[in-house]
Structure 1
Amino acid sequence: MDLGIRGRAALVCASTSGLGHACARALAAEGVRVVVSGRRADLAERLAGELPGAHAVPVDLSRPGAAAELVTGAQEAVGDIDVVVLNSGGPPPMPAAGLDRAAVGAALDHLLLTQLDIVSLLLPGMRERGWGRIVAVGSAGVVEPIPGLALSNLARAGLAGYLKTLAGEVASAGVTVNMVLPGRIATGRTVSLDESAAASAGIDVDQVRARSVANIPAGRYGDPHEYAAVVAFLCGEPAAYVTGTRLRVDGGMTRSH
């Protein structure tokens, strides 16, 4: 399928590893001029060099004012941004009963407020041009809160609510807004969570993985490229009538409707 986005420009946040990097690769394969971003300049530049037409804009989004720095750098590199893939690393595992204001504030700033800043900077141009794609990397915890990941469940649910509201406000301007919810995808983040769960339970990490796989109807962890293909589709012309959705890529793991 021709996604009809060759020559467009995309900013993929946190795209030096995991799902973000897979999304950057998928969009570059469609002829999109991709901005690769991340904390490590050397890594961002190396990975951008592996993708046709890609540029590196290394920015640490945990710093004050970093969202504006990232957007300005992206626009200087590739011009007007047509597509933004919102993404960020997940916060540490933590039970709901152990939360404090500092931990919640940090999670909200990283997973919600910074993403809002990026959208606010890019949205006016998208509306003016009559075309835009906003896709957020979410979590299955948005639909079914994941035990032990209270910070992620809380902040990502807030982002989901914001994006759903935004979708209804900008659809008539040709801008779509969607969130893609990964289940157990084989990334470094998943490895880290499995290792944390194994340490907490006092069992081998292979046992944790086996238990996870047993709860996935597809019988395996997903591949990052399978997830990225869904994101790329939502960024394309054929998905122009798809907005306000929270699409699951989880092998059937989430049981709710």
Structure 2
Amino acid sequence: MTLFRLDGKRALVTGGSKGIAFAAAQQLRDLGAEVTIASRSAGNVQAAAEQLGVQGLVADVSNPGDIASLLAQAGQVDILVINAGGPPPSLPSQVTEDGWQKGFQTTFMSAVRLAEGVLPGMRERGWGRIIAITSQTVNSPSLTLPVSNAMRAAVTNHLRTLALEVAKDGVTCNTVAPGLTATERLQSLYKPDEAEAIKKNIPAQRFGQPQEVAAAIAFLATNEAAYITGQEILVDGGNNI
């Protein structure tokens, strides 16, 4: 029996045109899954889909209509990887009502709606994987990422609760919480000299690579991870020890 294969499974990865989600789509494809990626940028998703050799769809996951259309086009989804662009940085006192609402729709409600859309089919087939990409800030909040801190924590606890309901149906729900990972998002948050100083406080003394976080996502999607549910998997170089 071949281990850690996903042949015959179909995966949907949102926010999959770059970074960790792109790497996850690549690894799921390499394990044999038929992969669809989605992004709100038509240009980005087309380029990424061509590079990966997978289907690419345009969708803004903050929009309920776009989610409905995305799920209709994607068809059967056995593996759902939930990812959305991070809310912009600010101090907590600087977040506007509109900023909270955008974060709520983009990060939290997108996860709720996507999971809700794929669950009936997963439960009927007796097999499913729902995996959300969150952040280490769920456990160690960052002063300048208040909306992300709150909304990703909400996603984590929603999937933990959902796991209690659907575990008996062969569906697992987990989150993967990356530490500081070498992506475009990280480059936008820290200047090079700041980044070098931050590395010194990470036990591994470096930033993670997208492929390292993607490996945890890919594992959770396999049959071998069927007894892991309701968990938050930290991939952070020991930063939360």
Q: Same fold (TM over 0.5)?
A: yes
Give 1:4 deviation, angstroms: 3.0
Task: Write the distance in 1 (CA, Å) between the matches of 2:155 and 2:41.
Answer: 25
Matched, 1:173 2:159: no
1:66 alignment counterpart: 66
Alignment of 1:19-58 (within 5 A): 19-52=20-53, 54-58=54-58
- Pairing partner for 1:135 from 131, 134, 141: 131
Task: Write the distance in 1 (CA, Å) between the matches of 2:185 and 2:47.
Answer: 21
Matched, 1:224 2:220: no
RMSD over equivalenced CA pairs, Å: 1.3
Alignment of 1:145-164 (within 5 A): 145-164=141-160
Q: Deviations over 1:83-142 (max 9, x none)?
A: 000000000001112223221111011000111111111001100100000000000011
Task: Write the distance in 2 (CA, Å) between the matches of 1:116 and 1:146.
Answer: 24
Amino acid at match of 2:71: V
Matched, 1:215 2:201: yes
Give 1:238 deviation, angstroms: 0.5
Q: Please give the secondary structure, in 1, of the residue aligned with 2:177.
A: strand
TM-score, length of structure 2 as denominator length: 0.96
Q: Against the structure 1 CA distance between its residues 7 and 50, is the aligned structure 2 distance closer, same or farther, given a 3 Å change threshold?
A: farther
Alignment of 1:70-149 (within 5 A): 70-75=70-75, 80-149=76-145
Matched, 1:184 2:202: no
Q: Give unpaired runs (5+ residues) of structure 2.
A: none
Task: Write the distance in 1 (CA, Å) between the matches of 2:167 and 2:61.
Answer: 28
Q: Please give the secondary structure, in 2, of the residue aligned with 1:112.
A: helix
Amino acid at match of 1:55: Q
Matched, 1:245 2:241: no
Amino acid at match of 1:29: D
Task: Write the distance in 2 (CA, Å) between the matches of 1:147 and 1:42.
Answer: 33
Runs of 4+ deviating beyond 3 Å? none
Task: Write the distance in 1 (CA, Å) between the matches of 2:5 and 2:229.
Answer: 17
Give 1:64 deviation, angstroms: 4.3
Percent identity (aligned): 38
Task: Write the distance in 1 (CA, Å) between the matches of 2:216 and 2:9.
Answer: 18
Amino acid at match of 1:84: L
2:3 alignment counterpart: 2
**How many pairs does the alignment contain?**
240
Give 1:59 deviation, angstroms: 1.4
Give 1:152 deviation, angstroms: 0.3
Q: Give unpaired runs (5+ residues) of structure 1.
A: 195-204
Moved more, 91-100 or 42-51: 42-51
Question: Any conservation in 1 of the 2:129–2:173 contact (CA below 8 Å)?
Answer: yes
